[in-house]
Structure 1
Amino acid sequence: MASGKPTDPISSSTSDSRTPGGRLGPAERALAWQRLGAEAFDVVVVGGGVVGAGVALDAATRGLRVALVEARDLASGTSSRSSKLFHGGLRYLEQLEFGLVREALRERELMLTRLAPHLVKPVSFLYPLTRRLWERPYTAAGLLLYDTMGGARSVPGQKHLTRAGALRMAPALRRGSLIGAIRYYDAQADDARHTATVARTAAHYGAVVRTSTQVVGFRREADRVSGVRVRDVEDGAELDIRADVVINCTGVWTDELQRASGSRGRFRVRASKGVHIVVPRDRIVAETGLILRTEKSVLFVIPWRNHWIIGTTDTDWNLDLAHPAATEHDIDYLLEHVNSVLATPLTHADIEGVYAGLRPLLAGESEETSKLSREHAVARVAPGLVAIAGGKYTTYRVMAADAVNTAAVDLPGRLQPSITDQVPLLGADGYHALVNQADLLATKWSLHPYRVRHLLDRYGSLLHEVLACAANRPELLKPIDNAADYLQVEVVYAAAAEGALHLEDVLTRRTRIAIEYPHRGVGCARQVARLMAPVLGWDEEQVDWEISVYQARVDAERDSQTKPDDTAADSVRAGAPEPRRHLAEPIA
């Protein structure tokens, strides 16, 4: 159906084995398939979430021959459905996990200052105090420890506020809901964009990165794993990839892939569902985010552009791993808890978007998922096969280094040490200078300076590549209809350089239109599909099919969010069609 000839809005040529600028366009995708079948790799990474992308980058920058395959899209699972925070995990101090907090704060600092200052930004939170005498000194002591461990290096330290001071900072709070407050800082990022940038950086340093490429079997030589068999889920073609070691970075699918390899796992992964809702910024009048205690964990109200993200829930999930469904009960839980402190309560009518994700937690003895360890585990589960799971988004780089270190026993030659703490992600170099030049860039491209700064915070110094797609098509510098936060040129760039293969990839991950607008992306689906069409070679029939599949997804998600329990919601959501036509059933 995609019978047209793709066009390339970004021209480049190279004889280098690297992907210049980390491009993941149609031409690079075709070449990647040839390379996967023809070359032998040191490492094959399975899973295109943040850990898999991080492993590919870590291995590539150590000088290894690396391939990364992902069955769906980059960050299509957990890594696009988080709370979008780079944080030390303040609540883990109460669980005495000091090492995890210290490690996470170091990673947060690296992202803010060296590795991804264009993507990771400081964000403040207000912690309302509700109990006299003991709560302020108790919380202050915890935050002092947080700041001392590294939480106050590139962001301000804690600030104590009276009730009047807190209400000036957050007028939306109900006066009787607090007796004072403490403000502290963490950091946030668009998780899907960050993950895709890590993967593109890995490609820039030589990794072969290919999405819509599903592992359907394992190669074996005697008693060791020697590679994988993969299927192109766009056309059904299959081939074998040879590798010294396979690293399983599939998150909540870890156990499933380990069973498929015929190897007994060294640990078990348990999926915990987290649901978030998105509401307009004007529904909560505040200049800072909020962190609230709940009976189980904590609830965040996170500033997100012109919106607030409110979450999260924390419940066991044993159903469809690809499409966790939010229920009416999940949404009511979030509304109930946030409304307990708001002067003007939120209602279902205020909700712009809803998303559900699964945390891959290491199973423990406790039945409460919020008490399961957020530490990660890595093991050589068989000769030639390593698995890693657990952890938290913020520490992905540490997890990646540990996985590659564990794989060393199966690799020929001496393994170089990890250097990813010194490797800025694509777009980081030159970012600060471009911020200072935003007004000049705005004049050059006839854009508002605000728009240029918005683009810089999404692409960094890759901004020039993005805008180059509009060099001969100035109409692409206009906003997308019914999604004015994004320019049309961003859609073209997503298909030409960022590996987007389907309408869903652009509306849910390359942009966040699916959760930021009440129409959930349906209101601009046709325009976005037609912008993608010439890049990917779609004809009108394929455009119509992409729209119908996306519409069915949105309808199923809306319907699932009216159901009372997980089973009913999953039954509805699982009925929506997949845009990737040749996805295999889970291999067992």
Structure 2
Amino acid sequence: MTKSTAAPATRAETRAELSRVPYDLLVIGGGILGTSVTWMAAQAGLRVAMVDAGDFAGATSSASSKLVHGGLRYLQTGNVKLVAENHRERRALAGEIAPHLVKPLTFVVPIYRGGPHGAAKLGAGVFLYSALSVFGDGVGKVITPQQAHARVPALKTDGLRAAAVYGDHQMNDSRVAVMTVRAAVDAGATVLNHAEVVGLRKTGATVTGAELRDRLDGGEFGVSARLVLNATGPWVDHLRRMEDPAAEPSIRLSKGAHVVMRRHEPWKAALTIPIDKYRVSFAIPWEDHLLLGTTDETYEGDPADVRPTEADVTQILDEAGHAVLGSQLRREDLTYSFAGLRVLPGGTGRVAAAKRETVLTRGTGGMLSVAGGKWTTYRHIGRVVLDTLAHLPGRPLGDDLADILPAVPLPGLASPDAVAMRLWTERDPGARMDPLVARHLASHYGSIAFDLARLIRDDPALGERIHPGGPDIWAQVVYARDREWAATVDDVVRRRTTLTVRGLDTPDVRERVAGVLTG
């Protein structure tokens, strides 16, 4: 299989550039917050570098519920302003920034006899929710059990009195992360994954960069910068203690686990399942499967060791069973389970009741640390952090940087329907794609799918499916290697393709992917 042309800089070239160039800003951490700030800073004309000890979005940022939403449950606590702010960002992502990656999805909230919420309350809630979104996804309303069952064929109907319905959006978080990194690089940023910070550079008492080790070959190098941003998520306090060994904890962690199931029949909507007065669980059609979750429990272990337990899986299946038929919840249909860590402000009490807000701190050496965020508002949080960096006392980066940022779309902006149709109806019969593959590429790459089509024209073997059970093809592996910073098998099967979530990353597939990465 051939290499694609016009490849970005190699790791060695990137390391040399990071060592040589003095940066305005070094971002440590390539998750939701790090990629957003890097993108915003590059758009504002700053010399910015971003490094991550693992892969971009390799931890919690690719372990979300895959939703871009206003947060219906926040209405329960009266936080109308937060819901309205979330909706504004959701509309921007779905309309201007990433309509090729962010898809509308209808949600049904079943109302059972003896349940925690009544029809009148939920009906008013979903109507207000849709009003706060300027009715961009229709009008929230109450529907009959028959109408709910038509949308969700696996819905339990025993005791079902009615259902509320509203609109939100979903995405593949890993693909949005990769596209954001690409947007940052297109704007001038320098990025490197699998590069671990082993120490901070200091000039006097001031943090002015970092010492790093390449986890792939052990090579060591350093980066110098006027300002350093610690955006390492669950590891934020670990890096703060590198700056100041006496730094007090600033955060606490909550584990959120999910499971992925084979779906027996198409769903036209997702389920929001009330568990009690405050908690809900989701059953979401995603990547031709069913995504279930999530949990919300205190986590005090090593962030690198977070994983779903048997108790997590049991809890998720049991909670889904409030509204989903048991025939859709068989253990043999489970293809994948995963867990991530929510970063919450430090404090006491149940993590499920803790505020989901961003924590900003500045250390004794001048390093700014930021933690906590969600995909829906990741651009907004990036702007807030950039504005904070611009006005740091004594070391500002410039005035009102965030105010000049345009609404730049993510790469690949195009109608997935139009892209898929063009791939499917290619004039050259030998270059036409299977409709399922064409739809898959169009909805994960947008117009960049045409770059993959060109790879296939040059090497038809790249058009073959990696596994007959899914739509991912070998061109995606080559493209991930050459254009999307994929360096390990997990980078490819978990975050550049959908192989893992579909349960298709067999030993044979992983071995063949490894061969392409080293080829």
Q: Taking structure 2 as the reference length, what is the TM-score of the superposition?
A: 0.93
Aligned length: 512
Choose from 400, 414, 422 the match for 2:407.
Answer: 422
Shift of 1:112: 0.6
The C-alpha deviation readout for 1:349-387, integer Å capped at 9, x for no partner, is 221111111111222332x11111111122333453111
The C-alpha deviation readout for 1:402-460, integer Å capped at 9, x for no partner, is 11111122235445334556110111157675356344348562212332222111111
Alpha-carbon spacing, 1:149–1:53, altered in 2? closer, same or farther (3 Å): same
Shift of 1:261: 1.2
Choose from 112, 125, 132 the match for 2:107.
Answer: 125
1:53 & 1:197 partners in 2: Cα distance? 10
Q: Using the TM superposition, name which of 224-233 and 480-489 deviates more.
A: 480-489
1:274–1:315 Cα contact (<8 Å) kept = yes
Alpha-carbon spacing, 1:482–1:436, altered in 2? closer, same or farther (3 Å): closer
The C-alpha deviation readout for 1:231-282, integer Å capped at 9, x for no partner, is 1111222222111111111111111111111176587221111111111111
SS of 1:514 mapped into structure 2: coil
Number of the residue aligned with 1:390: 372
Shift of 1:483: 4.3
2:397 & 2:359 partners in 1: Cα distance? 24
Residue 289, structure 1, aligned to residue 275, structure 2: no
SS of 1:235 mapped into structure 2: coil
Q: Using the TM superposition, name which of 59-68 and 169-178 deviates more.
A: 169-178
Choose from 325, 341, 348 the match for 1:365.
Answer: 348
The C-alpha deviation readout for 1:47-92, integer Å capped at 9, x for no partner, is 0112111010000000100000000101111011111111111111
SS of 1:290 mapped into structure 2: strand
1:290 maps to amino acid: L
SS of 1:364 mapped into structure 2: coil
Choose from 470, 473, 494 the match for 1:484.
Answer: 470
Number of the residue aligned with 1:222: 204
**Alignment root-mean-square deviation, CA:** 2.3
Number of the residue aligned with 1:339: 321
1:364 & 1:87 partners in 2: Cα distance? 26
2:79 maps to amino acid: E
Number of the residue aligned with 1:47: 29
1:54-133 mapped onto 2 (5 Å cutoff): 54-131=36-113
Number of the residue aligned with 2:461: 475
1:277 & 1:219 partners in 2: Cα distance? 41
Number of the residue aligned with 2:303: 321
1:88–1:151 Cα contact (<8 Å) kept = no
Residue 236, structure 1, aligned to residue 218, structure 2: yes
SS of 1:485 mapped into structure 2: coil
1:423 & 1:263 partners in 2: Cα distance? 40
SS of 1:417 mapped into structure 2: helix
Residue 139, structure 1, aligned to residue 125, structure 2: no
1:380–1:407 Cα contact (<8 Å) kept = no
1:228 maps to amino acid: A
SS of 1:531 mapped into structure 2: helix
| Structure 2 unmatched runs, 5+ | none
1:180-259 mapped onto 2 (5 Å cutoff): 180-259=162-241
1:55 & 1:48 partners in 2: Cα distance? 10
Number of the residue aligned with 2:4: 10
Shift of 1:316: 1.1
Q: Taking structure 1 as the reference length, what is the TM-score of the superposition?
A: 0.82
SS of 2:313 mapped into structure 1: helix
The C-alpha deviation readout for 1:271-312, integer Å capped at 9, x for no partner, is 111111111111x66421111011361100001132000001
Shift of 1:38: 0.5
Shift of 1:156: 2.2
1:58–1:419 Cα contact (<8 Å) kept = no
2:384–2:402 Cα contact (<8 Å) kept = no
1:86–1:394 Cα contact (<8 Å) kept = yes
1:76 maps to amino acid: G
Q: Percent identity?
A: 33
Alpha-carbon spacing, 1:521–1:396, altered in 2? closer, same or farther (3 Å): farther
1:522 & 1:482 partners in 2: Cα distance? 15
Alpha-carbon spacing, 1:338–1:421, altered in 2? closer, same or farther (3 Å): farther
1:361–1:374 Cα contact (<8 Å) kept = yes
| Structure 1 unmatched runs, 5+ | 1-6, 13-22, 535-588
SS of 1:471 mapped into structure 2: helix
Number of the residue aligned with 2:433: 447
2:245 & 2:417 partners in 1: Cα distance? 48
Shift of 1:482: 4.3
Choose from 472, 477, 484 the match for 1:498.
Answer: 484
1:87–1:104 Cα contact (<8 Å) kept = yes
SS of 1:308 mapped into structure 2: strand
1:265 & 1:419 partners in 2: Cα distance? 35
Shift of 1:390: 1.6
1:378–1:406 Cα contact (<8 Å) kept = no
1:167 & 1:370 partners in 2: Cα distance? 30
The C-alpha deviation readout for 1:175-199, integer Å capped at 9, x for no partner, is 2142110111111111011111101
1:169 & 1:319 partners in 2: Cα distance? 40
1:132 & 1:419 partners in 2: Cα distance? 53
Choose from 533, 555, 579 the match for 2:518.
Answer: 533
Shift of 1:461: 1.3
